[in-house]
Amino acid sequence: MQGQINIGVYADAKLLFIGDDYGNDAGTIDVVILTKLYNGGYGGWSRNILVYPVFEYAKLSGGKYMRYAMGVGYKFGNKLNIEPSIDYGRVVRWGWAYSSFNGLLCVSYGISNKIQISVLNSLTQRNDLKFRWGDDVWRYNFYFGLTYDVH
């Protein structure tokens, strides 16, 4: 069995449809691009190990927000997948780069052999906000999107 590549594009549901209490109106762009690389392995538990680069871009009222990270996780399931993972990266905002940990829980359901509908739960360490406002801040986001199996 060979490894598998899966590309997902997600949008923040709250910012897209409702907005928030920080001056971001409905329709605010917050997009996550997640490329998962599955081990494949020779069977057994190791075939479900995944590593990934992730990129997030948001056009927030307080300025452009970008996050780059690398992570590792594990896939449970077949048609209905549950994938917990953790990653570490950098938030780029206000001309500075800040370290950032993140926990993800992705739940996806296959609607064809190659395409899945997916939701992404994210808890992100926001050191950019800590630096700016002095608070130790973790933010929860809920994304929805589609994923595609490249290989």
Output the pLDDT for position 41: 65
Output the pLDDT for position 40: 73
Q: pLDDT digit string (tens) for 24-79?
A: 899 999 999 999 998 876 666 677 899 999 999 999 988 899 999 999 999 998 88
Output the pLDDT for position 2: 55
Least confident span in 12-16, 46-50, 54-58, 144-148: 46-50
Output the pLDDT for position 43: 66
Output the pLDDT for position 23: 85
Q: pLDDT digit string (tens) for 93-128?
A: 998 999 999 999 999 999 998 999 999 999 999 998
Average pLDDT over residues 131-142: 87
Q: Supply 17's token pair.
A: 């449809």
Buried b (16+ CB within 10 A) or exposed e, 15-40: bbeeeeeeebeeebebbbebebbbbe
Q: Supply 13's token pair.
A: 């549901």
Contact 141, 30 (CB under 8 A): yes
Q: What is the CATH number of domain 4-149?
A: 2.40.160.20
Backbone φ and ψ for 78, nearest 5 degrees, come out as -135, -70
Q: Supply 76's token pair.
A: 């449970």
What SS3 class is residue 17?
Answer: helix
Better-predicted residue by pLDDT, 29 or 3: 29
What SS3 class is residue 129?
Answer: helix
Q: Where are the domains of the chain?
A: 4-149
Q: Measured between alpha carbons, how far is 5 from 35 in angstroms, rounded to an integer?
A: 7
